[in-house]
Each structure stands twice: as structure tokens, then as C-alpha cells.
């Protein structure tokens, strides 16, 4: 019987070492690819007007600076549509002030009204994309809690010069507003997920930073596919995958996203991400559950093997110690490799993210534990709370009910405003519009 358990332990450990090596190799490839792309920042976008959509709700951390960065894109032919649920939303005042401050950028404000049978963000996007003008060739999307670099839109679009793509996506890089264990854990977890991206995004889109051709948007019927759903990006991923239209990852579209959670908010956020994945991309959710569970089980197996050895078992104590050390060393390598990218993605934020950088290098296994907790918790229940709305999920991710909650989520005031640039385009003012 002892031989059986020793053999099982050996198999699990070897598989874990191989898994850690492959993940380290993928992280290295992500760094190589990102550095290569970021050196080519002078790529030009194809011709055609871009409709850029920015749904807003409440006062996100650094909201004014984020929206200002949207209006300061260096692309020559785009218009910006800000979308709110109602004119009472506190984001409206910020939006109006910025629209007045940038008369050379074509802008409009759409008041979408309250969602009744889908996610509020999905409802906002459906309202804003209902009447696209004939000269629009591309549709771009940015979240209000994301800070794009000036070349963000141009480099997203540049991908369409050489490839027949369904869409191009970026991703988020969390920027902790304060150095707390909760924020550092979330930072590490997010870095771990992002390092899985390479040239391909495996059909997955992140809704806070992406672009799609207008003809593809209409061909796949994305606006109709959004109806009755909660997730804008994973539904888009679904329909693009069914149409076999590839999605590419653009490192220059990685955006800084300020983060400041308490423990309950962080756990709720992680569970929500995976619960949405469970409903819309069950294959990737299953992969995340299996992978994270195996990682946790492997580390527990090393402790169990060490205890067995110290209790007089047939396995020498140095074996689980050596195995655990090797696994930890590989995860430290992954952390160091991906944190090298702070200087590539956000050199201006390197000093303020120093604590997060060191945490991810040396303590990233703690983030893996939180990741597993979130995946495990997402196995249960059908209710998701997002932006003070509690949604009840039905089969295939359909929304079967929603309840609006009091504004209990803490929201920090907007900070770090950017200086206003000189006007660079002829004005094409687009007024406030209420969706019907």
C-alpha cells in the first residue's frame, strides 16, 4: 500500500512540475510578445471612422482622468459616445464637463434608461449601438475604470491592416490605489491570468478594451446576441467563436485599471468573474476549476508527504521539501518574468506599484489560493451582484430577474486629472440622446 501512495505522489508531483514549467514558458512568451509589440508603437490604423463607446456608472476611481485619456487618443478619425443609465448618475457631471473641455472631439451622451431584462452595461451598449451612422467602419469599447494610453485606439485598429480578424482585444492591469493585502492579492491574481495571453486570445475578449469591424458586428448579430444577457464580452467571445472569426491580443491595449477593494468586495469580484464565465464560457471555467484545484492539491500533497515522512513513512523528508522548493521557484520565476513588464506597459507607474511587484514575485501562491476560492465559490448559486444590481441567472446565462440595491459600494472620488490638450480636429458635436 505504501508503494501505491508513493507512486501516486510521484505522478502528481511530476505532473505539477511539468505544468509549472509550461506556465513559466507561456509567461516568458507573453513577455517576449509584449515587448516586441510595444516597440512597434508607430503602426498606423486603417482608414475608416471609429465609434468609441464608453459606458459609465457612478464615480469610478480616477474617473475623470480615465475619460480624459479616452478623449486624448492620437487617432485622427473617431467619435466618442458616453452612455449612462440616467442623467442623475454622478458620472454625468464629469462627462458634461469633459465634453465642454474638448470641443474638437466628436462626442455625444446617450441616456439608456434602466435595464429590465439584461445587465445594465449590456443594456447601455445595445441602446448606444442601435443607430450607427453609415460612415462608421469600426466599433471600439472602453470601460470607465480603464486608463488607455494615447496610442491605444490606433494600435488596436492597426491589427486590421494585415489580418482578417473578428476582433482585437486588450486586457486590464490592476493598479492598487493603496497597499493592502486585498489589493495586492487581486493584483497578483490578475497578472497571473493576463500572462496566459499571447498572439491569440483564444477567442476571449475583455470588454474593457477591444475593437470590432462594423461589418463583423452586424454579420454575427452581436447586438441581438446581447439581449437578455449579463456579459458583453463573453457573449461576444461566444458568437465570434461560433463564426470562427479569430481574436488577437494587442499588448498596447493593456490598460491600467485602479483597484481598491475590501475583503468582501474582492471575494465578490473574483466569484462574479468566474460565475459569469461558468454561464457563458463553461469550457474555460472548467479549465480554470481543474487547473486551480490541481495547483492547490499539489501544494497540499507536499505538506502531507512531509508529514508522512516525518512520521516514519518510506519517503525521505527531503523529497517533498525539494519538490515544494522547485515548484515555488518556478512560480517566483513566473512572477519575476511578468513583473518585468511593468517597465514595458506602465513605466510611469513603476514606483507606485513597487509593493505590488514584489508581492507578485514572492507571494503569488497566495493569489492562487484566492483564485481557487473564487472558482470554487462560483460553482454555487445563481445570483450575481454588480454595480449595486443583483441579477438572477437562468439557463444559458439569461437574466430572469434583477433587483436594484442601495448604493452601498464605496466609491472614491476622481483624481489625477490630465492637462487639457489643444484641439486637433474639427468639431462634430453630438448632443445628449435618450434611448427609446
Q: Is the pLDDT of residue 163 over 80?
A: no
Written as nine digits, the cell of 125 is: 451598449
Residue 162 has a pLDDT of 79
Phi-psi region of 373 (alpha: psi -120 to 50; beta: other; left: phi over 0): alpha
Q: How crowded is the C-beta side of 122, counted as CA atoms within 13 Å?
A: 25
Residue 203 has a pLDDT of 87
Going by CATH, does the domain composed of 45-171+206-261+411-434 fall within 3.90.550.10?
Answer: yes
Residue 431 has a pLDDT of 52
Position 274 confidence tier, pLDDT thresholds 50, 70, 90: very high
| Interval 387-393 mean pLDDT | 95
Interstrand relation of 172-176 and 255-259 (parallel, antiparallel or unpaired): parallel
Tens of pLDDT, residue by residue over 75-123, are 999 999 999 999 999 999 999 999 999 999 999 999 999 999 999 999 9
DSSP 3-state of 307: helix
Question: Which positions ≥6 away from 308 have C-beta within 8 Å?
Answer: 5, 315
The DSSP symbol for 342 reads: H
Q: Is the pLDDT of residue 9 over 90?
A: yes
Percentage of residues of the chain with pLDDT beyond 70: 93
Angle at 213 between CA 212 and CA 216, to 5 degrees: 95
Residue 424 has a pLDDT of 39
Written as nine digits, the cell of 322 is: 525539494
Handedness of CA 110, 125, 52, 217 (dihedral sign): negative
Distance CA 141, CA 144 (A): 10
Give Cα separations from 128 to 64, 100, 131, 332 (angstroms): 21, 21, 7, 45
Residue 36 has a pLDDT of 95
Written as nine digits, the cell of 204 is: 476571449
Q: φ and ψ at 276, to 5 degrees? A: -65, -40
Give Cα separations from 299 to 181, 362, 371 (angstroms): 21, 16, 15
| Mean of per-residue pLDDT scores for the chain | 92
Residue 434 has a pLDDT of 58
Amino acid at each position: 500500500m505504501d508503494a501505491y501512495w508513493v507512486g501516486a505522489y510521484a505522478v502528481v508531483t511530476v505532473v505539477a512540475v511539468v505544468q509549472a514549467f509550461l506556465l513559466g514558458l507561456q509567461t516568458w512568451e507573453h513577455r517576449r510578445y509584449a515587448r516586441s509589440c510595444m516597440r512597434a508603437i508607430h503602426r498606423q490604423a486603417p482608414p475608416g471612422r471609429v465609434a468609441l463607446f464608453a459606458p459609465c456608472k457612478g464615480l469610478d476611481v480616477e474617473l475623470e482622468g480615465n475619460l480624459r485619456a479616452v478623449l486624448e487618443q492620437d487617432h485622427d478619425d473617431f467619435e466618442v459616445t458616453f452612455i449612462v443609465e440616467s442623467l442623475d448618475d454622478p458620472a454625468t457631471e464629469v462627462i458634461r464637463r469633459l465634453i465642454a473641455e474638448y470641443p474638437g472631439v466628436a462626442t455625444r451622451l446617450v441616456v439608456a434608461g434602466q435595464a429590465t431584462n439584461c445587465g445594465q452595461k449590456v443594456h447601455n451598449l445595445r441602446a448606444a449601438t442601435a443607430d450607427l451612422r453609415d460612415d462608421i467602419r469600426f466599433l471600439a469599447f472602453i470601460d470607465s475604470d480603464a486608463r488607455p494610453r494615447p496610442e491605444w485606439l490606433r494600435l488596436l485598429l492597426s491589427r486590421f491592416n494585415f489580418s482578417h480578424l473578428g476582433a482585437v482585444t486588450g486586457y486590464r492591469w490592476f493598479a492598487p490605489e493603496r497597499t493592502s493585502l486585498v489589493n495586492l492579492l487581486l493584483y497578483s491574481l490578475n497578472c497571473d491570468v493576463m500572462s496566459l495571453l499571447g498572439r491569440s486570445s483564444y477567442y476571449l475578449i475583455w470588454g474593457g478594451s477591444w475593437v470590432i469591424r462594423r461589418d463583423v458586428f452586424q454579420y454575427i448579430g452581436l447586438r441581438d446576441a446581447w439581449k437578455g444577457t449579463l456579459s458583453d464580452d463573453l457573449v461576444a467571445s461566444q458568437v465570434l467563436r461560433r463564426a470562427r472569426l479569430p481574436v488577437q491580443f494587442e499588448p498596447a491595449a493593456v490598460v491600467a485599471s485602479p483597484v481598491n477593494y475590501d475583503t468582501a468586495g474582492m471575494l465578490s469580484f473574483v466569484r462574479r468573474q468566474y460565475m459569469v464565465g461558468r454561464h457563458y464560457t463553461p469550457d474555460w471555467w472548467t479549465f480554470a476549476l481543474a487547473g486551480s484545484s490541481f495547483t492547490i492539491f499539489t501544494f497540499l500533497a507536499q505538506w502531507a508527504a512531509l508529514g508522512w515522512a516525518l512520521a516514519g513513512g518510506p519517503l525521505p523528508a527531503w523529497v517533498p521539501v525539494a519538490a515544494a522548493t522547485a515548484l515555488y521557484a518556478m512560480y517566483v520565476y513566473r512572477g519575476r518574468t511578468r513583473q518585468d513588464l511593468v517597465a514595458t506597459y506602465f513605466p510611469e507607474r513603476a514606483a507606485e506599484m513597487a509593493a505590488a511587484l514584489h508581492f507578485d514575485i514572492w507571494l503569488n501562491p497566495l493569489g492562487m489560493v484566492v483564485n481557487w476560492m473564487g472558482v470554487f465559490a462560483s460553482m454555487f448559486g445563481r445570483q450575481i451582484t454588480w454595480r449595486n444590481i443583483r441579477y438572477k441567472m437562468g439557463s444559458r446565462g439569461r437574466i430572469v430577474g434583477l433587483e436594484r440595491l442601495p448604493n452601498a459600494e464605496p466609491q472614491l472620488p476622481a483624481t489625477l486629472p490630465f492637462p487639457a490638450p489643444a484641439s486637433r480636429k474639427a468639431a462634430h458635436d453630438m448632443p445628449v440622446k435618450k434611448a427609446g
